[in-house]
Structure 1
Amino acid sequence: MSADIPELTPEERRQFSEDFERAHAAGEVSDRHFARARIDGALAAWVLSAHQDAGGSFPVPDNLMDGRPPIERVGIPAVDAALPHTTQPAHVFLNALSYLMRESDDALEIAAARAKDCDEAAALLRRAAALLKGKQNEPLGHLVESLAPWAERGKFGRVIVRKWESGHLYATQFPDSLSASLRGHRGKATRDGAIVRALVPFFPNEQGFFAGGGNTLISRLAVLCGASKATPAYVLSTLEQGRRTAKPAPRAKPDSSIISLLRKP
């Protein structure tokens, strides 16, 4: 921690937490903002505990989180009720929730405004790569071609290229409209539908789960993430629409999945 910002004492942290809870109870802090703060706090505490148990060494070891017990609760009833049912590790699920809670309500519009230029840039990169390969410049062609998928993903947020090594492009994306990748197949794309589609893959694809209250559980989470119309009936309707319009497709690319993009704690 910076020397200019003194670390809070346990009493100061307790006081801050109580003040935050009172502000939430008084309606000064929204449910969405409060839930995200609790989730981010639980994730930070989980990583900090692992670092302390490892002796607080730097650089932080890559296997720092190996064997750590999962986060079991964050203090938000809807989230705590969902954690035992998730099919992904708890920190992956919580990271996705935190992202959806901070994503702009205009995420679909933001991505749509970028889509034409980003897709055109990707097409031009692939054409340039083919031209280079045709002129005995295969290595340069492969480098240019590797930029194309990232250009396509540029509609979902800023991409920072790190390095090119051994034929592989290393880059990082800072998404701000990732839910736009989960558009419906019919009708107008909606933010509520995108949120529901983002949450569904974290739970069992089994009739028993949904018959046992899964629709309600996902509905409560979707509302926390900013969905205004995500009733249990809406969740069921979105799922049924997805089943009707689903087509056999090749295996999804892992780097285009909202889950895989949010896997790291």
Structure 2
Amino acid sequence: MSAGDLVKMTEAERRQFSEAFERAHAAGEISDRQFARARIEGGLAQWHLAAWEAAGRPEPVPDNITETMPPIKAVGVPAVDAALPLTTKPAHVFLSALAYLMRESDDALEIAESRAKDCDRAAALLREAAELLKQADNVPLSHMVESLAPWAERAKFGRVYAHKWEGGHLYAHHEIDALSASLQGKRGKATRQAAVIKALVALFPQEPGFWEGGGYSLAARLATLCIGHKVTPQAVNSVVKQAQRTAPAPKPERAKERDTGDYLVRLFRNPKQ
């Protein structure tokens, strides 16, 4: 539910909707995955609505309207609420990451793979064109063309909409739909479960004490919600240890990001940020 939907509802209508949704979940008509996603997205919508109302309902809505808002403490999903005090990320970023993983297609890896060849070739051709323009004494145009290349590479994870080119950077919006594919391992058969676990690992402290003190179990509960089938702490342990052995050096991001979705791209692909 969006903040706009909440604005149109009275407090009584919001309460009735929430209670009806809980009854449907208890009756098995709504899966745990659907329920958790709706709770998270509803919590985020209420948080944005509260920020808008506290600011006097400005139009247009400023990009930084939530900066002074206290963080979300709970959304009514036990595993998520237990994780909120432990994440190393801002609460709204953590919740947005979970909501994304819960709505991503189970075929995300296959979707991204089907686009990869064309997107990577497009990026290579853009860089080649940029170099040709540079040699032709057209450096400004060369920079503009080259700024498209990182976005062409990321197009395998979702559709890109360009906004403007300014100061040597392309500003664009990325509607991601297969981001977990960016986390698939280089060895063995790639699975979405492993990719989702890696995404979740990036949201928590990287100290052994956290994982051995209940982190594996907590991440397994969250992964189960994101994927829709049972994930064990042992599976999380295996993925974490494998990721630690094969983690590549982080690469600098050359394109500029504008929204939470684009922040998730950086978060999942470079967890140390």
TM-score normalised over the length of structure 2: 0.88
Note the 1:1-265 alignment, pairs <5 A: 7-226=8-227, 228=229, 230-247=231-248, 249-253=249-253, 260-261=263-264
* SS of residue in 2 equivalent to 1:74: coil
RMSD: 2.2
Contact 1:35–1:76 (8 Å) recurs in 2: yes
Deviation at 1:17, TM superposition (A): 1.4
* SS of residue in 2 equivalent to 1:68: coil
Contact 1:74–1:80 (8 Å) recurs in 2: yes
* SS of residue in 2 equivalent to 1:58: coil
Aligned mates of 1:182, 1:254 — CA distance in 2 = 19
* SS of residue in 2 equivalent to 1:189: coil
Contact 2:127–2:146 (8 Å) recurs in 1: yes
Aligned mates of 2:251, 2:156 — CA distance in 1 = 22
Letter in 2 for 1:236: N
* SS of residue in 2 equivalent to 1:172: strand
Aligned mates of 1:195, 1:58 — CA distance in 2 = 37
Aligned residues between the structures: 258
Letter in 1 for 2:253: K
Relative to structure 1, is the Cα distance of residues 85 and 229 closer, same or farther in structure 2, using a 3 angstrom cutoff?
same
Q: Which moved more, 1:99-108 or 1:222-231?
A: 222-231
Letter in 1 for 2:77: I
- Structure 1, residues 210-253: CA drift from partner, whole Å, max 9, x if none? 11110000000001001635210000000111122234x25553
Relative to structure 1, is the Cα distance of residues 98 and 24 closer, same or farther in structure 2, using a 3 angstrom cutoff?
same
Letter in 2 for 1:124: L
Aligned mates of 1:229, 1:23 — CA distance in 2 = 21
TM-score normalised over the length of structure 1: 0.91
Aligned mates of 1:52, 1:119 — CA distance in 2 = 44
Percentage identity across paired residues of the two chains: 63
Deviation at 1:258, TM superposition (A): 7.9
Aligned mates of 1:24, 1:250 — CA distance in 2 = 41
Relative to structure 1, is the Cα distance of residues 178 and 137 closer, same or farther in structure 2, using a 3 angstrom cutoff?
same
Relative to structure 1, is the Cα distance of residues 252 and 116 closer, same or farther in structure 2, using a 3 angstrom cutoff?
same
Aligned to 2:271: none
Structure 1, unmatched stretches of 5+, are: none
Relative to structure 1, is the Cα distance of residues 228 and 169 closer, same or farther in structure 2, using a 3 angstrom cutoff?
same
Contact 1:192–1:229 (8 Å) recurs in 2: no
Letter in 2 for 1:153: R
Contact 2:33–2:228 (8 Å) recurs in 1: no
Contact 1:92–1:262 (8 Å) recurs in 2: no
Relative to structure 1, is the Cα distance of residues 50 and 258 closer, same or farther in structure 2, using a 3 angstrom cutoff?
closer
Aligned mates of 1:13, 1:63 — CA distance in 2 = 26
Contact 2:108–2:181 (8 Å) recurs in 1: yes
